[in-house]
Amino acid sequence: MQPTIIAYLKPHCGWSAGVRAIMKKYGLEYEDRDIINDPFQFQEMARKSGQTLSPCVEIDGKLLPDVSGEEVENYLVENGYVERKGDEPEVPIDSACGDEHVHGN
């Protein structure tokens, strides 16, 4: 079953790339919202999650704040959205962003 997924992500970030890799691994459609170049998306993420760390992923209305790709994959499997695949994602799903600022400044 295809859940409704909104992902609040940075364009270039290890954590965000990990979330994208999980979506691709399972062939899931999702809305990729850029929190660096679109201040409205950042504000919406912060309002919904009550914090400013990313990625935040909303799956069928359930918000997972400050998550890694691994945590998103575990949530999807544990809640019956996907069956775990042994395939390795294209990129590491638990790599930090480095020195990029949250607000893109």
Options 3.30.1240.10, 1.20.1370.10, 3.40.30.10, 3.30.70.1230; which CATH number does 5-78 get?
Answer: 3.40.30.10
List, for residues 57-93, the tens digit of each pLDDT value. 999 999 999 999 999 999 999 999 999 998 777 776 7
For the chain, the structural domain boundaries read 5-78
Write down the pTM of the prediction. Answer: 0.87
User: What confidence score (pLDDT) does residue 93 get?
Assistant: 77
Asked if pLDDT for residue 99 goes beyond 70, the answer is no
Cα(93)–Cα(87) distance, rounded to whole angstroms?
Answer: 12
Looking at every residue in the chain, the average pLDDT score rounds to 89
Instruction: Judge contact between 38 and 31, C-beta under 8 A.
Output: no
H helical segments located in the chain: 14-25, 39-49, 69-78
Are 53 and 28 spatial neighbours (Cβ–Cβ below 8 Å)?
A: no
pLDDT band at residue 6 under the 50/70/90 scheme: very high
Q: What is the pLDDT, as a whole number, of residue 98?
A: 60
User: If DSSP codes are grouped into helix, strand and coil, which group holds residue 4?
Assistant: coil
Cβ proximity of 29 and 81 under 8 Å: no
